[in-house]
Every structure is written in structure tokens, then in C-alpha cells.
Amino acid sequence: MKKILLLALTLLLSCSSGPKLSRSKPMPRVYNHEAMSHMINGAIEDLLGQPKNALVSYHQASEIDTTSPGIYLAIAENYFILDETSSAIRMAKKVQSLDPHNLAALELIAASYEKQRRFREAMQAYEEIVRLSPGDLESIYNLTTLQVINRHPEKAYASYKKMVESGLEDPDYRLRIGNLLLQNRALTQATAIYEEVHRTFPDYQPGYLALAAVAKQQKDTTAAIDWYRKALEQNNRFDDARAEMKNLLESGKRYDEAIAIYQGLVARDSTNLTDKLQLGQYYFIKGDTAAAYSWLSQVVQQHAKSERAHLALGALHHFNRDTTAEKILYEETLQRNPGFLEVRQRLRDLYVNEKKWDQAIDLYKALQDNDSTYVGARVTIANLLMQKGDTLQALQTAEALNQSHADDWRAPFTLARMHLVKAQHAKARPLFDKVVELRSDLPGLWTLRGVNFLQMDSLKLAADNFSRALQLFPEEPEINYYVGLILSRQRKTNEAIPFYEKALKTEPQSMQTMLALSAAYDEVRNPERAEQLYKIMVKQRPDLAVVLNNYAYHLAVRKIRLQEALDLSLKAIQLEPDNGAYLDTVGWIYFQMGELERAREYIERSFKLRDDSAEVAEHLGDVYEKLGMIDEARSFWLKSLQLDESRTEAKEKYRKATQ
């Protein structure tokens, strides 16, 4: 909207102090030089991006020359920039009083009304603009949109026709008007525009999509599907139409119709493998397995060099649990097409499921000396050896690969991961360092490197690792989770919570994040938020022992709904009867319920399994105190402090017991 006034021609044309002259009698204009000077100053301020300063100069010019439309237009434009639209309108109307045909003033008035959401007045302004400049496509377009907004669909359609007559060829702009009409429920006019676009541009996919959208709005699914079908008959590469049609057919379970449509598409283009595979899938979904087998077998013969065709037939065998047929297919396929890597992977997985390790390994020995598959094949062999239980051979294979291909990140990563699994963290450390040096762009590598540090009990190194990772991947949920975990271990729970929350926002179903976050909220005494998380977890995983136990302990600590807590905790130890933490929870609930002998039984069992737990030791001391066994209580409180000297409550209990 803003037009910078050039310091020569524009200023001379706009700062006149005399009446407007007729073209038939040209006469030299007389300019007020003082007003011109202020205009120049204002133009400079405009160029410097200082509209408020520019306004001062332009107003000074207007006080000297009250007859110049250009001065008032400059003032109006600056008010518009400053979002003072009422003042902009007032000044632009002053321009109109001096120059009724000034289009710039009318455009400014229209734009200001739009900013104020006074769409009726904006429409009226554009009507005048179009009257003065009937061939201006942009103005007609703006008028059309405003007519739609003001619920004048007939006028909008008439304006649209005027745009087309004036040379609007771009189908995108035409559809935009139709879409706006459709959004405002003007179906008749929207449909007319869509049909015209479709006729004029038959190879334009959005035209078909728009007509299908009208049909869907009218709840005519059959008509919508028909438009998608017509689109694909026109151009089989219209992927959006294919996806929309597929969605409607499948959501409505219209499989007979789907089969008929895809039979037609295949008949029109016998080279389109995607449509052929989709037809086979519809045979299967419908329940006609024989037809699916017959059809996909034909497709495999017709497209023998396509891996997708073989995989589709293999998937059909897989869904029908015909593992033998699936294996035979993949074995025969690999004999003819050894470069089909995904087929090889599927066959490998079948062998692994049957514990046929040597056959799985042999699949990749055939690739281990090829340049393009050298590293990948040897990585797979090493991993298969590890799964087989041949750890020594797996490590030797990975070490040899790392020596020959240390600059390929997969080589040191494979060896590092094996050392991590074997708890050989010192050996894994330099390898993970190398891996993140080679591929710092993969967040999962940073995560495993940090996990290795955590298992080395090196909290500082882990913190440094995840701090660097967070700078690279600030939105990565796993990274945020581990940053929170480290802060929790550093007893900075309030600082940890935002990182857990961020991780959970990205992955709202993450059980490990919800467990950590609920525990953090318990620690900072926000039981309401913790309760929300526990309820979500129990609903999602009612069979997960750790969830049941943690929720039970949460209730027990709060001394509320103890029977519910007991039911949860007993279910947890049914799932994991030798879990010391869960036994402690059951005992602590019995303690809260006053059933001291049962509490003693469970917590003593817990301590036998977890004699390094300061919390269990303190709980056992509490039970002994209630049972009158003061010496035993004092002994276990001391044990608790020896394990964790920061336990203030245990410290106070022990102090009182020794007085």
C-alpha cells in the first residue's frame, strides 16, 4: 500500500498550489517550495522507515498547501502503516474531495475498512474502484471476495465472470473464489465456477477435487467417488484424487465398487503397478483370497523385475500364515533377483523366527564382498551372530569391520552397541564418540551415547552429552526425556519437569516419560497432576506392573484410597512376584492401614531383595518402631542413613531414638 515518494517527479506532480489544469490547455504549474521541502523531508523519513517522523513533515506541508491530493495521500498512507485506520480513511477521503478519481485513495480506504473488518464499506469502495478501472483484475478479485464475505453470491459470481472476461487465466485464482463461495455455503455459484474450471482445464487435478468436495458437502459419496474416478481416467498420476477416492471407498467398505473401479483403471493402463497391487489388496480385504492369489500371481509374472510385486504376494502369504509358501516365494525370487534387498530382509526375518540362524547369515554372506553392500551386509551378519548367542564371533566380525571401515558410522556404531549390551561401557565410549563425530545429525546416536555414560555412572558426562544433543535437537522427545532424567538424578526436580512435559507433548503416549513425570510431580508435591498421569497410564496399560505399583505407592504416600492402592499393588506383585520395590509398596500400604504384621512380612521380603535401598530400610525401621522393636528400628534407620545421608526424616527418627 505504501508508495515511497520519489524526490523529483512525484513531488513536483503532487505539491501544487494552483487549480488542476486541463490537458487541452497545458500551462506551467506553480509549486510552493516550502511545502515541497517538507515533502522531501517526509519522503526521506519514509525511506528510513520512520513513519511517525514522516507524518510530522507531511502535516507541515499540508498546512502550507491545502490543495495537494498528494500530500494528503502521503499522510493517509503513513496513518495506515501505523495502524491508525480511522485517520487513514479521513485523510484518504480528503484526497477524494480534491481528486474524485484518485484510485490510490480509494484503495487505501478499502484496505482500511478491511483492517477494521467493516467489509460492507470495503466492498463499496472496491465497487467504485472497479467502476473507475474496469479492467483491473486485482481490484475485481478483491471485490469478488468481499461480495462473498458480505453474502452476495450472485454479485460475486457476476464479478468472477467479469474477471474471466478481463483475462484471468490462472485456474488457482478461479478456484479460490469457488472455495470461498463453498465455505459460505453458496453451493450453486461454487459449483458453477468449479465446473467451468474443469471444462477449461481438464488436466487440472484441483478442479476434480473441488467438484468432489461439493459432492461430499452434499453427502453424496457416490458422486464424489465418481469425480475422483474421472480424474484418474483423465490422468493416472493424480495422486491426491487416488488417495481421496481410496479413503472414501475404504471408510465406507465399498469393496465391490473399489474392485470395479480399479479393474477399469488397470484396463486403461496395464503398466500401472500401483493400481494393480491395490486391486489385489481389495480382493483380499473383501475376503476373496483365491482371487487375490490369482491376481497377484499374475502381477508377479507381468512385473517380474519389480520388488513391490513380489513383496505384495509375500504379504498375502504372511497374512494367511502360510510361512512355507512365503519362504519359497522369497527364496525363488532372490535366485532370480539377488538385488531385492527388502525381499532378503523379509526372508531373513522368517529364518530368525524359526531360529535358523545359519540360513539367515548365509543370505548376507552372499553380499558381504560387494562394494555397495559390504558394510550393511557385515553389520547384519554381526547382529545375527549376536542374536544367535555367538557373542565372540559377533564381536570379531564387528571389530574387523570397524578396522576396515572406521569412517562409515555404521561400523563403530555396531561395535559400540554390542559393547553397551555386554555392559562393556569403557570400550563402548570411544566408539560412540567416533559415531557422533561422523553422524552428529542422528539424535538416536546421541541418545545411546548418553545411555552408555549413565550406565557408567558418569552423570556429568551424560549431562554434557545430552546438553549438546539438546542444542542440536531441541524438539526431540527422547533427548528432552533424558535431560529431565539427569536433572532428576541431580535432585533438580523442578528444572526437570519442563523437559519431561516437552517430551510428553511430542510423544503423548510415551509410558517412560509419564512414569518419570508423575514421579517428579509427586516429589514436588503436586499430587493432582501426578494423579492425572497415573490415571492415563492405568487406562492405557492396566497390565503393566510398574504403572500399577507406582500408582499404588502414590496413593499410599497420600494416605488416601488405601484399599484401591492395595488392589493395584497386589496385582503388580502377581505380575512380578520377586520385585523388591513392589513388595515394599504392598508392605507400606499395609503399614498405612495399621496391619503391622503383614507390613513387616512384605517389607522384610523386600529388604532381602533390595538391601541397598535406603527407602526400604527406613520403612522397615518405621514398622519395627510401631511393633515396639526400638533397637531394630534404630538399626534400620541408621542403615538408611548409611545408604543415603540426605534422608532428613530418617535422620530425625534416628536422633530421637538415640536420645
Position 610, amino acid: R
Answer for the pair 357, 388: CB distance below 8 angstroms, yes or no: yes
In the chain, what percentage of residues exceed pLDDT 90?
Answer: 86
- Whole-number pLDDT of residue 9: 25
pLDDT in tens, 570-582: 999 999 999 999 9
The neighbouring-strand residues paired with 31 are 16
Indicate the pLDDT class of residue 31, thresholds 50, 70 and 90: low
CB atoms within 10 A of CB 300: 18
CB–CB of 452/432 below 8 Å?
A: yes
pLDDT in tens, 584-623: 999 999 999 999 999 999 999 999 999 999 999 999 999 9
Q: Which of 47-51, 433-437, 519-523, 527-531 has the lowest mean pLDDT?
A: 47-51
**Contact, 33 vs 12, CB < 8 A?**
no
Q: What percent of the chain has pLDDT over 70?
A: 95
Residue 1 has pLDDT above 50, yes or no: no
**pLDDT of amino acid 171:** 94
* 607 Cβ contact list (under 8 Å, min separation 6): 580, 613, 616, 617, 620
Dump pLDDT digits (tens) for 305-350.
999 999 999 999 999 999 999 999 999 999 999 999 999 999 999 9
The confidence score (pLDDT) of residue 255 equals: 96
Least Cα distance to 172 among 153, 190, 149, 197 occurs for 197
Asked if 57 contacts 76 with a C-beta cutoff of 8 angstroms, the reply is no
Radius of gyration of the chain (CA): 38
Please report where in the chains the cell 512435559 appears, as a residue.
Answer: 501
Q: Is the pLDDT of residue 557 over 80?
A: yes
**Can you say whether residue 49 is alpha, beta or left, with left for phi > 0 and alpha for psi between -120 and 50 degrees?**
left
Q: Determine the residue type at 643.
A: L
Torsion of CA 437, 442, 443, 447, to 10 degrees: -60
In terms of Cβ atoms closer than 10 Å to its own Cβ (0-12, 13-18, 19+), residue 279 is buried
How many C-beta neighbours within 10 Å does residue 83 have? Answer: 10
Name the pLDDT band for 561 (thresholds 50, 70, 90): very high
Could you give the 3-state DSSP secondary structure of residue 20? coil
Mean pLDDT of 395-409: 97
Distance CA 69, CA 588 (A): 87
Q: Measure Cα distances from 145 to 180, 211, 471, 551 in Å.
A: 7, 20, 45, 57
What pLDDT, on the 0 to 100 scale, is given for residue 502?
98
Distances from the Cα of 463 to the Cαs of 145, 433, 535, 654, in angstroms?
56, 15, 31, 35
pLDDT at 21 over 80: no
Name residue 16's beta-bridge partners.
31
The three grid cell numbers given for residue 61, joined into one nine-digit string: 506541508
Confidence of residue 32 (pLDDT cuts 50, 70, 90): confident
Q: What pLDDT is recorded for position 8?
A: 26
CB 46 within 8 A of CB 5: yes
> Which cell goes with 602?
512384605
End-to-end CA distance of the chain: 85
626-641 per-position pLDDT tens digit:
999 999 999 999 999 9
Dihedral over Cα of 40, 46, 47, 53: its sign: positive
If you average pLDDT over residues 345-358, what whole number do you get? Answer: 97
- Which residue type sits at 510? S
Choice among 20-29, 58-67, 533-542, 608-617 with the minimum mean pLDDT: 20-29
φ and ψ of 169, to 5 deg = -105, -25
Q: Lowest mean pLDDT: which of 4-13, 108-117, 510-519?
A: 4-13
Give the closest residue to 32 by CA, choosing from 49, 47, 15.
15
